[in-house]
Chain A
Amino acid sequence: MNPYIMSILICNLALGAIITAASYHWFLAWVGLELNTLAIIPILAKHHHPRATEAATKYFIIQATASSIILFSSIINAWNTGTWDITQLTTQPTPTMLLIALAMKLGLAPMHFWLPEVMQGTDMTTALIIATWQKLPPMALLYLTSNQFQMVLLSLLAISSTLIGGWSGLNQTQLRKIMAFSSIGHLGWMISISLISKKLLILTLIIYLLMTTSMFIILITSTTKTTKDLGMMWTTSPTLSSIMMITLMALGGLPPLTGFIPKWLILKELTTNLLLPLATTLALSSLLSLMFYMRLTYVSTLTISPNTSNSPMKWRFKLTKPINPAPMIITTLLLIPITPLIY
């Protein structure tokens, strides 16, 4: 793509998210969401492959529908209460409609069916943007309006997301789809705590973004797209292969890695608020996600696949996309000691 056009699209992508996050009026929030959606559509369809076009079309339809539901709920609220303030969404059923629309935008189960297909239809870099940056605008709205939601609905979304994200990800061999289901699972954890502690919602989001970005950077650097490619990743970069193992453990929420922080604190908050069934279900369903992370670890690092490779020493060649993953990886793995500082 023309670099000027690409830079304009990326600027608009950032601008859309910032407008939504910084807005006070529902209309401005909607404008930011639409700008964000429209800016990423050409990025999704950049390669002109039929699958990329299909992903862009699906993404557009879902996001436009969700944005229109958001606008509709805000209009109903404005009609009943006279206010367009984002934090004053009080008239039923507008908070429920808004929550469903935000779930559709984020890819929370049961409105998650588009996410794996869209991420699979694009390249790794665009999938990284969809899994990370595109979560920010709806999360901003969720942060502002979470007081209005009912705990029952939030719990249902959380449980279904973690269970479906874990169960569906078990059988996958395409890495982008695995990351999509991982995203669905993590969003389930975030939504469960959104009513109880907004600080923890933001902390979980930031840690999720760090871990997902690290993982995607590793996959982009080693140009791996399937589980089988992971089996030969050690030839490309043995160091990256070992680091990926630990990053996957962090994504799985194992101590003493950073990924354990949100799970630990969320379970603590949920038990303090006597939401024991929710806490137990979330903890058990995270085992499903851990299963497929362990599978990737087993395949990439713990075993050497006997598949033939033309060159067993690919690490001697320069990597085509030398992104420095070190800062991201360090934050993904080693933040537990500073937990009291960040929460």
Chain B
Amino acid sequence: MASSLKILDAACLLKKCHWQNGLCPLFRPLVDSCNLKWYSSYRRPGTPPDRTPPWKKIDFSFQKGVEGIKTHFGRLVKEVTDHVKGPEGRPLKQYMLEQTKVAWEFRSQEDLEKWVISSDVEIGGKSEIYMQLGKNNQSALVYGNINTTVPRDGETRYSGYCSMRSKPRLVAFDRKKPYDWSNFNTLVLRVRGDGRPWMINIYTDPYFSHQKNDIYNYFMFTRGGPYWEEIKIPFSKFFFTSRGRIQDNQHALWLDKISTLGFTIADQVNGPFQLEIDFIGLFCDAAHSEETAYELYERNPKK
């Protein structure tokens, strides 16, 4: 294993030598397209890439292995029994009759464990985000501080964001199982904000890595009042972005393979923020027949 990684390292070096010296211009098209790195291509801006070998990152433990086997086989049994019951482990009648569904609600610590919070600390920023259960365990309170101070690493130009994202649903042996929301056409959020605008991100886990940065976004404008508000956003309003940039070619969001939902705050305003979420649900609005709110025709036709 270590020797093969060293060979890959050597090949990387060889690739660089060829490119820089220009000794073999004939081989350049062959070596340019191949990606010989065995470590992840992501690196935190301002830091060198993380070249820790994979085996050093895993915590090997017999106890952990036994627990893992019990957990995963338990999930496998549940998966098989749910398969017999019906779609998503519920009887077909329930699937046919449902018009509303609560996708996530926050009533216990386990519900909070299904979410991941992050901020620009990953890139060297100073924003903070925390999540805890609200009063009487009836909601989740997401709060923190946005700090737009740009980290001084010579690369980053903007900073100041915080986000929370749901973890993908996992079945036995950590396989991802996307949600099928094709029965519904509206996202319903019961929230109590502080007037700051948030962005909702829906990630439909693609199979190929070319599309791993594709996300569907829409805005959530909160009121600052003491009253709860129910925000209904049709899925047709979500626009398609990749790496945060809105794409020219828009299309409808397909709801049969939803992986994660996330909230991001990045409104370039320094200061504290707070959002209380009661539940995130789905609703089938029979009066809403729009498939996508954006033009689908080619706006800059090539001639």
A: residues with CB less than 8 A from B are 47-51, 53-54, 57-58, 117, 120, 167, 170-174, 225-228, 231, 295, 299, 305-310
Query: Could you list some 14 contacts between A and B, CB below 8 A?
Result: A50-B206, A51-B254, A54-B206, A54-B211, A117-B207, A120-B256, A171-B88, A174-B180, A227-B87, A227-B95, A228-B95, A228-B96, A228-B182, A307-B97
Q: Does B62 contact A (CB under 8 A)?
A: no
Q: A171-B83, A171-B87, A228-B182 are in contact. List 13 more A-B contacts (CB 8 A).
A: A47-B251, A48-B249, A50-B204, A50-B206, A51-B257, A53-B211, A173-B87, A228-B183, A299-B96, A307-B96, A307-B286, A310-B286, A310-B287
How far apart are A105's CB and chain B's nearest CB, in angstroms? 20
What does the 1/0 interface line of B72-101 toward A look like (CB < 8 Å)?
Answer: 000000000001101110001001110100
CB pair B207 A58 closer than 8 Å: yes
Partner of B254, one of A49, A53, A295, A307: A49
Q: When chains A and B are docked, how far (Å) is the Cα of A81 from the Cα of B180?
A: 53
How far apart are A110's CB and chain B's nearest CB, in angstroms? 17
How far apart are B260's CB and chain A's nearest CB, in angstroms? 16
Partner of B182, one of A49, A50, A54, A174: A174
Nearest B residue to A231, CB-CB = B96
CB pair B254 A172 closer than 8 Å: no
- From known contacts A170-B84, A299-B96, infer whether A57 and B208 are also in contact, taking CB-CB under 8 Å: yes
CB pair A54 B254 closer than 8 Å: no
Nearest B residue to A51, CB-CB = B254
- From known contacts A50-B214, A173-B180, infer whether A305 and B286 are also in contact, taking CB-CB under 8 Å: no
CB pair B211 A299 closer than 8 Å: no
Q: When chains A and B are docked, how far (Å) is the Cα of A18 from the Cα of B249?
A: 37
Q: Which residues of A contact B249 (CB under 8 A)?
A: 48
Q: When chains A and B are docked, how far (Å) is the Cα of A197 from the Cα of B183?
A: 45
How far apart are A253's CB and chain B's nearest CB, in angstroms? 22
- From known contacts A227-B95, A228-B96, infer whether A171 and B86 are also in contact, taking CB-CB under 8 Å: yes
What does the 1/0 interface line of B206-226 toward A look like (CB < 8 Å)?
Answer: 111001001000000000000
Q: Which residues of A contact B88 (CB under 8 A)?
A: 171
Q: Which residues of B contact A172 (CB under 8 A)?
A: 87
Closest 3 pairs between A and B when the two form their complex, measured CB to CB: A173-B87, A308-B286, A49-B251
Q: How many chain B residues touch A (Cβ–Cβ < 8 Å)?
A: 28
Q: Which residues of B contact A174 (CB under 8 A)?
A: 180, 182, 256
CB pair B207 A54 closer than 8 Å: yes
Q: When chains A and B are docked, how far (Å) is the Cα of A301 from the Cα of B170?
A: 35
Q: When chains A and B are docked, how far (Å) is the Cα of A53 from the Cα of B207?
A: 10
Q: When chains A and B are docked, how far (Å) is the Cα of A200 from the Cα of B208?
A: 40
CB pair B183 A226 closer than 8 Å: yes
Which of A50, A54, A174, A307 has the most chain B CB atoms closer than 10 A to its own CB? A50
CB pair B97 A309 closer than 8 Å: no
How far apart are A7's CB and chain B's nearest CB, in angstroms? 21
Q: When chains A and B are docked, how far (Å) is the Cα of A226 from the Cα of B255?
A: 11
How far apart are B210's CB and chain A's nearest CB, in angstroms? 8
How far apart are A229's CB and chain B's nearest CB, in angstroms? 9
What does the 1/0 interface line of B243-266 toward A look like (CB < 8 Å)?
Answer: 000000101101011000000000
CB pair A305 B256 closer than 8 Å: no
Q: Which residues of A contact B183 (CB under 8 A)?
A: 226, 228
Nearest B residue to A57, CB-CB = B208
- From known contacts A54-B208, A58-B207, A120-B256, infer whether A170 and B214 are also in contact, taking CB-CB under 8 Å: no
Q: Which residues of A contact B289 (CB under 8 A)?
A: 310
Partner of A170, one of B83, B95, B182, B211: B83
Q: Which residues of B contact A299 (CB under 8 A)?
A: 92, 96
Q: Which residues of A contact B208 (CB under 8 A)?
A: 54, 57
Query: Which positions 44-92 of chain B face chain A at CB distance < 8 Å?
Result: 83-84, 86-88, 92
Q: Which residues of A contact B83 (CB under 8 A)?
A: 167, 170-171
Nearest B residue to A305, CB-CB = B96
How far apart are A10's CB and chain B's nearest CB, in angstroms? 23
Query: Which positions 147-170 of chain B face chain A at CB distance < 8 Å?
Result: none
How far apart are A313's CB and chain B's nearest CB, in angstroms? 15
Q: When chains A and B are docked, how far (Å) is the Cα of A171 from the Cα of B79?
A: 11
Q: Which residues of B contact A171 (CB under 8 A)?
A: 83, 86-88
Q: When chains A and B are docked, how far (Å) is the Cα of A310 from the Cα of B289?
A: 10
How far apart are B86's CB and chain A's nearest CB, in angstroms? 7
How far apart are B181's CB and chain A's nearest CB, in angstroms? 11
Nearest A residue to B240, CB-CB = A50
Q: Which residues of B contact A305 (CB under 8 A)?
A: 96-97
Nearest B residue to A171, CB-CB = B83
Q: When chains A and B are docked, how far (Å) is the Cα of A262 from the Cα of B220?
A: 57
CB pair B182 A173 closer than 8 Å: yes
How far apart are B284's CB and chain A's nearest CB, in angstroms? 8
Q: When chains A and B are docked, how far (Å) is the Cα of A122 from the Cα of B249?
A: 18
- From known contacts A171-B86, A171-B87, A306-B97, infer whether A48 and B256 are also in contact, taking CB-CB under 8 Å: no
